Amino acid sequence: MKAVVITTPGGPEVLQLQEVEDTQINEDEVLIKVEATALNRADTFQRQGKYPPPKGASPYPGLECSGTIVAVGKNVSRWKIGDQVCALLSGGGYAEKVAVPAGQVLPVPQGVSLKDAAALPEVACTVWSTVFMMSRLSAGETFMVHGGSSGIGTFAIQIAKHQGVKVFVTAGSAHTSHPASSVFYEVMLC
């Protein structure tokens, strides 16, 4: 299979598409034929040599992907060959195929293309786990989203509104002429 390989720490020029060994799955994993991947800040840090992959993870960058399941480990019951999914990865999304623990795989939401679904796992898992599971934000409450124009921020706004939450958002720029601060934040109600 082919994968994007970091040949040495550095800028984007160190990335090369190379032929590599096929990925094998464990009994609790699925094998996804990657349709699309996303670019995360951690991928750029990994490319620069500042974020090594976790022990046992794929050496290739790519922390989320979407695609079609082409193989299923013997202990996997939820997924089957042919399912279109997206996944949160510890690495390997920049390859033609990636082995993923079954618990890190999500169904592609109805009406979302495989291309768009590649960017969902990181934001969805981050927002849902921190805002709704840990903080227990619920309908009727008020929620302040700082950095509302970011990927995490825009997802948080949308899902909170969908859950019946009143949302306030900050956004700003270092290029403002506000005399009191180098960064002026505008608060808006969504």
Is residue 126 domain-resident? no
For the chain, what is the domain count? 2
pLDDT, position 171: 79
CA gap 58, 54 in Å, rounded: 8
pLDDT, position 146: 87
pLDDT above 80: residue 89: yes
CATH number of the domain to which 53 belongs: 3.90.180.10
- Under 8 Å CB-to-CB from 39, ≥6 apart: which residues? none
Are residues 108 and 15 both part of a single domain? yes
Mean pLDDT of 123-136: 94
Is residue 151 within 8 A of residue 119, CB to CB? The reply is yes
Q: Which residue segment(s) compose the domain that 38 sits in?
A: 2-118
Percent with pLDDT over 90 in the chain: 81
Residue given tokens 């794929």 in the structure block: 58
Mean pLDDT of 12-36: 97
Is residue 86 domain-resident? yes
Greater model confidence, 9 or 148: 9
Mean pLDDT of 106-111: 96
pLDDT above 60: residue 184: no
Are residues 184 and 111 both part of a single domain? no
Is residue 148 domain-resident? yes
Are residues 114 and 141 both part of a single domain? no
